A and B are shown apart, each in its own frame.
Chain A
């Protein structure tokens, strides 16, 4: 079954990088796509703030329709060794990357449950499964997203709603522009990935063909996590 009539796809952090590629890909698939980000995007919200997310979802519902496809892509990194990491660095990354995904899921499920159809795709990371020194906060948030993904899959599986995760490896974006060459060496594919390659995986998980794929983690990392 395709996305029910009137349903929209919401991509958080959808105005640049991987999120932008996902938004473009889903639009090309024929979905009505709305992007959410802090300062740009179709609607603005701070995903780490539950009230801000609730207001943004109300706006999307009123102007575009119920959110039946949700891609939790909004994220930030504030790297540093744990021994030197400030509490604010830890909290900020957990708040945006992990709490943000929860707040959006919490809102999206209302719409999906009413429609008895939904697709949730959480953009985690290879570091959610394979630790990376300097990213205690980012890695913990991304690992948390994987557990969140699977819990929702179990809670909602009977209701036509799927919840899956994608774990990108090193992808060419503003976030990796300075370190890309250094990181490339450890990737079995011998190159860094493109945002469109992540978007392709997300597109699959949102498709009819993926109705029986639930609670899965799809690595798009050129073999880095293998």
Chain B
């Protein structure tokens, strides 16, 4: 089943909630990590959760330009698509 933008957003909200970010449930794609007070270690946890949930691998290079919830959603969808398009 195709992964939707909303699936990724919900996973990100769940993870933000787990790391006790205030207002995690109301996080939107426009929110930056700085808005949400998410630091580099929080981001490592978030990436790990996205990798496990969507069976993707996020490299350090992929991660560099990711500054917001929306960026993370786009990256995840792009990697999921690449993964599905790859020969089995």
Contacts and interface: CB of A to CB of B under 8 A. Distances in A.
Interface of A: 110, 113, 155-156, 158-159
Chief secondary structure at chain A's binding surface: helix
6 contacts: A110-B48, A113-B45, A155-B41, A156-B41, A158-B41, A159-B41
A54 to B, nearest CB: 16
Closest 6 CB pairs of A and B: A113-B45, A155-B41, A159-B41, A158-B41, A156-B41, A110-B48
A113 B52 CA distance: 15
User: Size band of the B side of the interface?
Assistant: under 10
B41 to A, nearest CB: 7
A156 B19 CA distance: 13
Contacts of A158: 41
Contacts of A155: 41
A90 B41 CA distance: 33
B38 to A, nearest CB: 12
Contacts of A159: 41
Contacts of B41: 155-156, 158-159
Interface string B21-59: 000000000000000000001000100100000000000
B47 to A, nearest CB: 12
Contacts of B48: 110
Nearest to B49: A114
Contacts of B45: 113
Nearest to A155: B41
Interface string B52-77: 00000000000000000000000000
A161 B45 CA distance: 14
A162 to B, nearest CB: 15
Contacts of A110: 48
B61 to A, nearest CB: 20
A159 B20 CA distance: 11
A110 B45 CA distance: 9
